[in-house]
């Protein structure tokens, strides 16, 4: 959620409060710092968003964008000489349209803001001029007027003065579908004047009708895009739209969100790294959630972390580790990990600095705090098995197995040349393996050009598509990757890939793979050392190049030494395989 505007904080005290404005409790019988509000319009006028031009505005905007792309990029791009000028102007034109969309979203709110936030996170598929312009939608959401929010709280919870001691007037945060306010529960035994500090999350008035209207318009836009064959061939846009709509309706189900939060609390009940706020279910309804106040510095506030002794690099490692665990072990993950939903708090239960610094290396212990559980993802069993196979295949740089897993997940079009795709994946893995995030984010243009030339047939045919089930998993992992890069751009993600790939066999998930995957995990160690195997693959595929520079000669000397260690590699790998098989056999007998 976006931060609220700075200013003086006004509190609602429900001690001597009387309902004077449409059933809303206000301090001293009047609205703070503003004149009494007029009576709201009848419900029929509030929910008829099609007749007020909202539906037409959405369709008109996207129709203009599509028409612009057809005239300039599709038709104009084919005109000799003019095509080069059009390509040069593309960043400027994309930025202009993105700015126009941002203005439209801020004016209309609702699904349009949510769509802009979703697009701003797709740095993996959209050009920077679009994502950078839309990034402001994470922080620019206009708060709802407080008296209208209080109307919702009153309608949902009834006798508010017996639940809360105070509610702040200024919102703590505002989002596209709702907003939050600090509050304090009525004090219980011995708590003093105020009870537990909480946060009230409230849906915006009439948001369900707004969502319904916006989705109806966007469904028409989705059908328009399917008339363009390159898009229709690679993505079922209406199906993606339905997945987007399904998730939006789930976000509006606050009772389900409370259940999601409680499930995360169970997952991390015994984890010293993660903290999940308590949910006060007795105060929650379909449109209101009351949870523990866990305000802390955002995960992107590096200065605040360092000021209290927390090492941002350790936070990056923890975030990456936690998400691998959610996706590959639990099959249940937080699907909206933007900075407003992730906090970092020093552990108050552990002394700092420690008495013995030598026994406590690293930074100050901390909690990684998750909030906002309305958008969660679930990994079905079949999808999870293939994701684990992807992880193991990447660990061993096995392009063939990796391609098979991607095919099972639906990433390739029918008739795709899987052999050629496997070759391309092995070539890419060989080049990027071991690089940190900084190197991966700044690839060598010459290297990209060389790969493009080598696999230009794949780029020309482009036999890839977007699986529907990956719309939010891909988004979540993309956001996490960006956060990790901000915290520690030199982190090595391959360490975690290897760690989880190998742990899949040694953990309780191992029996689900069986002996075949166990063998695939250790087979490379029985063949040849990694660098020798890479040279053989290059030679088999006709991609081996001979260079005589000093660096290459030194590399060959190291390879020669590796060959001398081949016997030890075989013995070590045989021990690994034997131990794995014995472990799986023992687990099978125990079951």
Q: Is the pLDDT of residue 517 over 60?
A: no
Q: Is the pLDDT of residue 72 over 80?
A: yes
Q: Name the more confident of 463 and 90.
A: 90
In the chain, what are the domain boundaries?
45-141+211-241, 512-591
Measured in degrees and rounded to the nearest 5, phi and psi for residue 475 equal: -65, -45
User: pLDDT digits over 420-442, tens only?
Assistant: 888 888 888 887 776 665 566 56
User: pLDDT digits over 555-585, tens only?
Assistant: 444 444 444 444 444 434 444 444 444 444 5
Query: Cα torsion for 214, 216, 221, 227, to the nearest 10°?
Result: 170
Q: Is the pLDDT of residue 221 over 80?
A: yes
Q: Is the pLDDT of residue 61 over 70?
A: yes
Handedness of CA 58, 61, 62, 64 (dihedral sign): positive
User: pLDDT digits over 267-295, tens only?
Assistant: 999 999 999 999 999 999 999 999 999 99
Tokens of 173: 């945060």
Q: What angle do CA 36, 37, 42 make, to 5 degrees?
A: 145
Tokens of 407: 């095919």
Name residue 197's beta-bridge partners.
184
Q: What angle do CA 491, 496, 500 make, to 5 degrees?
A: 175
- Ranges of beta strands (E only) in 419-502 are none
* Residue of 479, 259, 454, 457 whose CA lies nearest to 374: 259
* Residue of 299, 234, 521 whose CA lies nearest to 391: 521
Mean pLDDT of 225-248: 83
Q: Is the pLDDT of residue 311 over 80?
A: yes
Q: Is the pLDDT of residue 30 over 70?
A: no
Q: What angle do CA 178, 243, 99 make, to 5 degrees?
A: 60
Q: Which of 26-35, 78-87, 344-353, 485-494 has the lowest mean pLDDT?
A: 26-35
């Amino acid at each position: 959620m976006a931060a609220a505007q700075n200013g003086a904080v006004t509190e609602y005290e429900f001690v001597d409060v009387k309902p004077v404005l449409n059933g809303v409790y206000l301090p001293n019988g009047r609205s703070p710092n503003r004149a009494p509000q007029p009576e709201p319009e009848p419900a029929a006028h509030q929910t008829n968003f099609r007749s007020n031009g909202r539906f037409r505005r959405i369709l008109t905007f996207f129709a203009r964008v599509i028409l612009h792309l057809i005239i300039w990029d599709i038709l104009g791009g084919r005109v000799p000489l003019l095509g080069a000028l059009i390509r040069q102007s593309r960043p400027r034109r994309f930025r202009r349209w993105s700015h126009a969309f941002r203005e439209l979203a801020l004016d209309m709110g609702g699904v349009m803001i949510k769509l802009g936030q979703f697009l701003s996170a797709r740095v993996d598929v959209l050009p920077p001029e679009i994502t950078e312009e839309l990034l402001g939608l994470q922080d620019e959401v206009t708060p709802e007027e407080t008296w209208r929010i209080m109307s919702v709280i009153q309608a949902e919870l009834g006798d508010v003065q017996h639940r809360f001691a105070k509610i702040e007037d200024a919102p703590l945060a505002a989002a596209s579908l709702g907003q939050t306010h600090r509050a304090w529960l009525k004090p219980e035994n011995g708590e003093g004047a105020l009870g537990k500090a909480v946060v009230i999350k409230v849906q915006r008035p009439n948001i369900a009708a707004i969502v319904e209207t916006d989705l109806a318009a966007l469904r028409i836009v989705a059908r328009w895009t399917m008339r363009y064959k390159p898009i229709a061939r690679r993505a079922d846009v209406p199906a993606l739209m339905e997945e987007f709509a399904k998730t939006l309706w789930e976000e509006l189900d606050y009772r389900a969100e409370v259940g999601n939060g409680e499930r995360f609390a169970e997952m991390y009940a015994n984890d010293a790294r993660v903290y999940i706020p308590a949910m006060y279910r007795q105060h929650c309804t379909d449109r209101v959630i009351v949870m523990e106040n866990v305000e802390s510095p955002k995960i992107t506030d590096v200065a605040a972390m360092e000021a209290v002794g927390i090492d941002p690099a350790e936070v990056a490692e923890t975030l990456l580790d936690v998400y691998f665990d959610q996706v590959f072990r639990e099959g249940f993950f937080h699907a909206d990990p933007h900075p407003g939903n992730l906090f970092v708090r020093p552990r108050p239960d552990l002394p700092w600095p420690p008495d013995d610094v030598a026994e406590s290396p690293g930074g100050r212990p901390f909690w990684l705090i998750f909030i906002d559980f309305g958008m969660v993802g679930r990994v079905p069993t079949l999808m999870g098995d293939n994701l684990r196979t992807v992880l193991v295949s990447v660990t061993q740089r096995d392009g063939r197995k990796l391609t098979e897993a991607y095919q099972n997940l639906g990433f390739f079009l029918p008739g795709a040349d899987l052999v050629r795709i496997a070759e391309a994946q092995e070539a890419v893995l060989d080049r990027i393996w071991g690089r940190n995030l900084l190197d991966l984010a700044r690839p060598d243009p010459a290297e990209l050009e060389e790969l493009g030339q080598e696999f230009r047939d794949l780029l020309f045919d482009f036999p890839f598509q977007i699986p529907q089930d990956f719309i939010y998993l891909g988004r979540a992992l993309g956001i996490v990757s960006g956060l990790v890069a901000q915290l520690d751009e030199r982190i090595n993600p391959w360490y975690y890939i290897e760690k989880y790939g190998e742990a899949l066999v040694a953990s309780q998930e191992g029996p689900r793979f069986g002996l075949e995957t166990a063998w695939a995990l250790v087979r490379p160690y029985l063949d040849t050392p990694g660098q020798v195997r890479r040279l053989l693959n290059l030679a088999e595929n006709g991609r081996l190049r001979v260079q005589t520079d000093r660096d290459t000669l030194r590399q060959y000397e190291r390879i020669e030494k590796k060959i001398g260690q081949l016997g030890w590699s075989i013995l070590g790998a045989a021990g690994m395989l034997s131990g794995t098989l014995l472990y799986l056999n023992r687990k099978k007998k125990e079951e």
